[in-house]
Amino acid sequence: MRIVLIGYRGAGKSTVARELATLLECDWVDADDEIEARAGKSIASIFADDGEGHFRDLETAVLRDLCARERIVLAAGGGAVLREENRDLLTAGGKIVWLRAAPETIIVRLRADAGTAARRPSLTGGGTEAEIAELLEQRTPIYRQCADVTVDTDPCAPAEVAAEILRQLKLDS
Ligand code: S3P
């Protein structure tokens, strides 16, 4: 079983992936970590040096390799669902979990998570709040369309989100 966590930046995908993998006693991988390891630089540097298109090509290559693995929890980047090719990779043989978060929650989490700012370059050139509003409007229908199950993360700690995922996927017995 492969479980793929999707959702916007700040939805808690990496933290929840780690919790879930502990509960399931399996490996977890953050696709952004893998991209940075392969490129030998931060996502912000990839965007700045090579452009978003190159980042998206690296992302597709990494997703292809990670989706060949079984018994893994995969935290996908917030834009991983944008390409049809990626959606096909993620949905083939995997359960897709959309971690949903309100814009206000996303802003608070991104501000608190300054350590990962280097992997979150601006995607629109606009301010943080305008960018979140614009991209959530574009992406929400795609997240919804891909998801086998959806968990609202606003009121929940990561451990509670992980437990809810297992409950919804009927893996908690
Ligand atoms: C992106 C989200 C980031 C990272 C890159 C692009 C996006 O991942 O892949 O900055 O397009 O939303 P996280 O969602 O893990 O922050």
pTM of the model: 0.96
- Using most ligand atoms within 8 A of CB, pick from 9, 56, 90, 131 the residue to mutate for ligand 1: 9
Say if residue 34's pLDDT is above 70: yes
The average confidence (pLDDT) of the chain is 95
- Using most ligand atoms within 8 A of CB, pick from 105, 119, 122, 136 the residue to mutate for ligand 1: 119
What are 119-136's pLDDT values in tens digits?
A: 789 999 988 999 999 999
State the average pLDDT over residues 34-54.
97
Say if residue 118's pLDDT is above 80: no
Q: What angle do CA 41, 47, 52 make, to 5 degrees?
A: 130
pLDDT of residue 173: 66
